[in-house]
Amino acid sequence: MSDVLANRVAVITGANQGFGKAIAHAYIKAGSNLMLCARDESKLAEVQKELQSLCKTGQRVEAIRADVSKREDVDQLFSAALKAFPKIHILVNNAGVYGPKGPIEDVNWEEWVQAIEVNLLGSILTAKTLLPHFRKHQYGKIIQLSGGGATAPLPFISAYAASKAGIVRFMETLAEEVKRDGIDVNSIAPGALNTRLLDEVLEAGPEKVGKAFYERSIKQKTEGGAPLERGAELSVYLASAASDGITGKLISAVWDPWENFPQHLDDLQKTDIYTLRRIVPKDRGQSWGDL
């Protein structure tokens, strides 16, 4: 994947640690220029300095503090990006939080709403703000980070689950709106990652997140979880020209054969493969339920 993003510009949110930082590293290795943002300005500055040391001739890494849930911050982010670079090609919506943990009747409502604002509304806002630029140039890549909450119930972490399911369906919807504008929109599930979100679950304990999820998290911590690099590789692929025409999908970095997607482009474009859908009885081998 060397230099597949040469001369491209990517905006990455939540880029100061964890998976966002891993994506930024992979993009630099692939030749991209970067505009990074996060809420923690000091950590962001450290990552920017680290990435600048890896840049090849002509590559640049810019950074600005921004909270994606605040419209003024998002406006400033893209104003700074377009001032630094003439054209943006890629948006990676990585910024996200777990939100409060515990039964819905016990959690702090303001914290629950804030998680929705960051994970769901913040991702929609960044896409909405950048879309006119992508439409103008008839090209763009939007890559949305999803998670386990998008495809299965996640008891006791309901704000995260609801926001991730919501943002995947929004991205599927957006993909249909912009598919004639040369804009590809996809969500990725990077796998169970050992990042600060896992540490939050372990710190919260089984009383708040549930015994089953806590025990799975303990096992994940011990075994190492999914490699950050695999999800970052998928992010590079979806940002590159190799994935042109693949849109409206939720793709697993770990389980799906995404390297071979170009061989199945027609199937991917004409079917609902890799999308959220309702399960009916016949999907589970049952003979009842059809009229």
Q: Which residues are catalytic?
A: 160
Q: How many residues does the chain have?
A: 291
Select from 196, 186, 205 the least CA-distant residue to 276.
186
Tokens of 87: 């054209």
The three-state DSSP-derived secondary structure of the chain is CCCCCCCCEEEEECCCCHHHHHHHHHHHHCCCEEEEEECCHHHHHHHHHHHHCCCCCCCCEEEEECCCCCHHHHHHHHHHHHHHCCCCCEEEECCCCCCCCCCCCCCCHHHHHHHHHHHHHHHHHHHHHHHHHHHHHCCEEEEEECCHHHCCCCCCCHHHHHHHHHHHHHHHHHHHHHHHHCEEEEEEECCCCCCHHHHHHHHHCHHHHCHHHHHHHHHHHHHCCCCHHHHHHHHHHHHCHHHCCCCCEEEECCCCCHHHHHHHHHHHHHCCCCCCCCCCHHHHCCCCCCC
Distance CA 59, CA 61 (A): 7
Distance CA 93, CA 75 (A): 15
Contact 246, 265 (CB under 8 A): yes
Tokens of 111: 């914290």
